[in-house]
Amino acid sequence: MNEYDVHNTEGAAKRLLIIDDEENMRHMLSKLMKKSGYAVDTAPDGYEGLNKVDQNQYDYILCDIKMPNMDGMEFLKQARAKIGSTTVIMMSAYGTIGTAIEAIKQGAYDYISKPFKTDEVHLVLKKAEERERLKRENIQLKERIRKIGENYNFGNMVAQSKAMRSVFTLAEKVAQYNTTVLISGESGTGKELIAKGVHFAGARSAKPFVPVNCGGIPENLLESELFGYKKGAFTGADRNKKGLFEEADGGTLFLDEIGELPPSLQVKLLRVLQENEIRPIGDSKTKKVDVRVITATSKNLEDEIKTGAFREDLFYRLNVLPIKLPPLRERPEDVPLLSQHFLACFNKRFGKNIKEIAPAAMSLLLESKWPGNVRELENAMERAVVLAEDTILKPENFPAGLTVKAGVEMPADVFDGYSLKNAHKVMEKELITKALIATGGNRTKAGELLEISYPSLLSKIKAYKITI
């Protein structure tokens, strides 16, 4: 075997078709290419070449331009739809620059002039193979990016933390089944976004998604909002009105802050879930409804059950498939990704061109407690983009009242002994680890956060044996 031996990814020899009207040229090229590991077929003109490509799939075609019956340029035109990604290299003893350009316009990859040295053919084919390898790698990279994107997204939410990827995976599974879902989490963690994601990823996506905040409607109006009423049912009821359950028929009703639902309506909601029917106020008949109910709460409903504020039987009916959203302070690795996402959104909304977030500003965002979670981060980013007068967001662009975590938690082994040098090493390792987690393992961004050079960071990662 020599340096030009060529095989495809499955180990079989790559297929090559030689089209040339000169028998000596076909024989010479065929012998040369077979010796280099190609599986070779030959054809004396374009017509026979077309017959060959009808019967076989080739990796490469070497085609003469000047031939009787059908020349190389006509072959190129007629074969274009048949050869797909096959690499075509044209050959001619009568070539000009114009001929070469025309051949490439017709779909040829390259052009070589006769007479040529054997190495010229090998080098052109090697260059073509390198191009094919790069194309394959590009396709694979795009597929990886697509899959990463899928892992980082659900509905309109973005995240890269392990906790949130688990949430996305669960939500995608839940979306395929028509059952009740209870989403719990602190205010601002994205409960409604998850509910919308579940709705639009499921079979009901073409039907309505109807959200209602159970704590935002007065108790005396909530029943009529949910179930509707008949004309004359009460003072001011001058017409029949559909309730939100009917509005959501065939789709999804999202009951946010379900923990605020009054006890009298908890009983009626339980009946709807059990019987799939409602009774509008003032009506003597019930109506069948086909509604998927998704609920959310920032309260601990099990504690509410203990105090008698929430019905236990309703809780178990709602809690068939629970989804718990972690607070932002427990997943700091999502802060950079979310910040970049919001930066892109607000750049577009306000017509700005802010390109990056300064490392000092990102450190501030990573150190914040975010009691308002993702909603608070979004508001902080909006304010920063509005106030920024440069193409980079700086700490002064962010709210002065950002709640910062109470100090950095010191590793226990910092205080073993009295060596400042050892304490410095422990703290340095801790901060590098923290930066790598926050950036999802991106060493360039971690170096920016730590305000050290990339080579220095690599050296320290190796010295401290950090495996993130």
Does 15-140 match 412-464 in CATH topology? Answer: no
In whole angstroms, what is the distance from residue 433 CA to residue 441 CA? 9
Q: Where are the domains of the chain?
A: 15-140, 156-326, 329-397, 412-464
- Give the pLDDT confidence score for residue 30 in this predicted structure: 92
- The fold of 412-464 is Arc Repressor Mutant, subunit A (1.10.10)
Which listed CATH number (3.40.50.300, 2.40.160.50, 3.90.1300.10, 3.30.870.10) goes with 156-326?
3.40.50.300
Residue 464 parent element (H or E): helix 454-464
* Beta pairing partners, 33: none
User: Is 202 within 8 Å of 250 (Cβ atoms)?
Assistant: no
- Give the pLDDT confidence score for residue 251 in this predicted structure: 95
Say which residue the tokens 């010479």 belong to.
Answer: 28
412 DSSP 8-state letter = G
Residue 16, SS3 per DSSP: strand
Phi-psi label, residue 177: left if phi above 0, alpha if psi -120 to 50, beta otherwise: beta
- Give the pLDDT confidence score for residue 464 in this predicted structure: 84
The stretches of 388-442 forming alpha helices (DSSP H) are 420-438
Domain at 329-397: CATH code: 1.10.8.60
- Give the pLDDT confidence score for residue 145 in this predicted structure: 46
- Those residues of the chain that have pLDDT short of 50 are 1, 9, 145, 147-151, 406-410, 414-415
Query: In degrees to the nearest 10, what's the CA dihedral of 21, 27, 32, 35?
Result: 130
User: Is 326 within 8 Å of 185 (Cβ atoms)?
Assistant: yes
User: Is 442 within 8 Å of 450 (Cβ atoms)?
Assistant: no
User: Is 323 within 8 Å of 167 (Cβ atoms)?
Assistant: yes
Predicted TM-score of the model (pTM): 0.58
Q: Which residues contact 56 (CB under 8 A, 6 or more apart)?
A: 15, 17, 41
- Give the pLDDT confidence score for residue 416 in this predicted structure: 57
Q: What is the CA radius of gyration of the chain?
A: 34
In whole angstroms, what is the distance from residue 337 CA to residue 153 CA? 11
Q: Is 3.40.50.720 the CATH classification of the domain at 15-140?
A: no
In whole angstroms, what is the distance from residue 397 CA to residue 244 CA? 42
- Give the pLDDT confidence score for residue 6 in this predicted structure: 57
Residue 181 parent element (H or E): strand 181-184
110 DSSP 8-state letter = E
**What is the CB neighbour count within 10 angstroms for residue 342?**
20
In whole angstroms, what is the distance from residue 382 CA to residue 339 CA? 10
**What is the CB neighbour count within 10 angstroms for residue 147?**
10
